[in-house]
Structure 1
Amino acid sequence: MTNTTTLPQVLHFTDPGLREQIEAMPEGTALIGISTTGRAIAVDLNAESPHILVCTATGGGSTTVLRSLTAQFLHQGAHALVLDVKRISHLWAKALPTVTHRGNIAGIHDALLGLADELKRRNQLPDHDLADIPRLIVAIDFAGGTLHQLTRYWETFRQHDDPQTSPAVTALEEALWTGRSARVHVLLDGNPRTSILGAAHELFATVILARFTADTWRRLAPIASPAPKSSKQPGSAHIVQNGTSHPAQLLLMTDAEAAEWLTATAAKED
């Protein structure tokens, strides 16, 4: 891509040459967007960023970011657990063979308990065996609402001797703390509060912020202060990595584009 001094107005998956650039990225690396200098801003799950936090106001594009990143990792051979409490935000993923999609809160609860078992299994494997297991992406849309619903759901049948904290929430915390060693990575859409996730919210080495308030910036990107001016331009965001903020235009990938791309990928592998 050529350098420019302004953000591209829109960055579509179908832009000339962009799909080829994405497909050439190493395994575990995905394009987030293009910065004001024209540089591709990517995340490398094998390096400093085992987990990614996306925090935007309504209409800021968080669902699109989760879709485009998850799709890129799936294209590289990863599997995914997509937790979609709204039930309609990630319909693109439901028919894919390497994706487990859960929408109702009971299903999300059970899926996270299964994640805890999978984490334990993976962490007991020798390194040479773990390297042959597909990377697992845990994509959580509307995480704040999901976590609150999980807490209320647990209260409906928790017994006197059961832990007070929902075991599903505990499983998510464990994935954040030990996921790197198990090739498990959390992509979380939300504004995590310490009252639910504890200190685990600090484990997101890549933070993507759009349509944010000054308070949100201070909490989630304190090293990259002061807070820049938030933009309402569609796809415009700040990507914070290693304490540096990169104003960027995010990659836009539609439901249909993600589904068609990954279906074509699966067909080639067969």
Structure 2
Amino acid sequence: MPPLTPPPLDTIRCTVGILDPWTLPALAGARSPLVGLSWGDQPVHLPDEKGNVLIAAGAAHGTTTVLRSLAAQFHALGAAVTVADLGAESHPWARELPGVRHLTRGGDILDALFDLDSHSSKNPDTPDWDGRHVLVVDRADDLAAALRERQRYLPIGTRHGEAEGLRALARLLATTGRGAVQVLLGSSSATVPAADVPLRRLFATRLLAGGTGLWGRAAPETWAPPRAPTHPGRMHLVAADGSITAVQTLHLTSEQARAAAAGPC
């Protein structure tokens, strides 16, 4: 008797790990990072084009995990990765990893923002992974507060509105899909420092998990936001065309992310 074929899955997985049998087919030969699985194990990947990504979720709902999983896959595909991890609290997987800049001090992060802003303005977009730069900003609200605090200690004559580092970040975000640097930004409040335009113009992909207040800030064009998910790692992906997809995001531990970043997933 031939082996029985399991019935089609008509729901969303509770977990999506890198070694799960339902995840491996989605990772095999992928040309862009896997976000996770949707209904019926349908894989959800980031678009091939170089658009910025916003991850906005409540506390303990997976923002850092999603950033870690995506960043490791970007590096495995050949991109250079800079991780802004203020205080070295969230991304130990990136420490001393070849090809990854793991920045934990405000001054080093500030210098990196200036360097990447300059690089993006001087270099055209490239469709290839080699030469692509990815900036990971976790806890953007905390980083913004730290950079604004640094601004207070500058001589009064050199202060010009918003903190320079935040203006550099805003310029990087404004070139989404066109510049040489792709930004992955995590913010629990769905607020973006120095942004003065709708977030849909700065982020080609928005991954959201929260209530109507968060949706009002991150995707105000959505007239009927989905209910806030209660399952850890469950988010809704808002694509550039406005479509919304429920997804269980890929979960990589720090050890798995470090191993995945070193080669094909």
TM-score normalised per structure 2: 0.87
| Counterpart in the other structure of 1:44 | 47
Unaligned regions of 5+ residues in structure 1, if any? 266-270
8 Å contact 1:137–1:185 — kept in the other structure?
A: yes
Higher helix proportion, which one?
A: 1
Change (3 A) 1:36 1:224: farther
Q: Does 2-11 or 201-210 show the bigger shift?
A: 2-11
1:72-107 deviations in whole A, cap 9, x for unaligned?
A: 111000001100114121110122111111112122
In the alignment, does 2:217 pair up with 1:219? yes
Aligned letter for 2:204? A
| Counterpart in the other structure of 2:112 | 111
| Counterpart in the other structure of 2:14 | 9
Pairs aligned (count): 257
| Counterpart in the other structure of 1:253 | 252
8 Å contact 2:190–2:214 — kept in the other structure?
A: no
Change (3 A) 1:248 1:114: same
Q: Residues 58-97 of structure 1 correspond to what in structure 2 (within 5 A)?
A: 58-97=59-98
Shift of 1:64: 0.5
| Counterpart in the other structure of 1:32 | 35
Distance 1:154 1:161 in 2: 9
Shift of 1:8: 0.6
Unaligned regions of 5+ residues in structure 2, if any? 1-5
Shift of 1:264: 5.0
Structure 2 counterpart SS, 1:69:
helix
Question: Percent of counterpart pairs with the same letter?
Answer: 27
Distance 2:46 2:160 in 1: 36
TM-score normalised per structure 1: 0.86
Distance 2:22 2:193 in 1: 44
Distance 1:33 1:132 in 2: 21
8 Å contact 1:78–1:136 — kept in the other structure?
A: yes
Distance 1:200 1:113 in 2: 24
Please point out which of 174, 179, 200 is paired with 1:177.
174
Aligned letter for 1:166? A
Aligned letter for 2:123? R
Please point out which of 222, 227, 230 is paired with 1:229.
227
Distance 1:57 1:132 in 2: 31
In the alignment, does 2:142 pair up with 1:139? no
8 Å contact 2:170–2:194 — kept in the other structure?
A: no
Distance 2:262 2:193 in 1: 40
Q: Does 181-190 or 161-170 show the bigger shift?
A: 161-170
Distance 1:185 1:31 in 2: 16
Shift of 1:43: 0.9
**Aligned-residue CA RMSD in angstroms?**
2.5
Shift of 1:180: 2.7
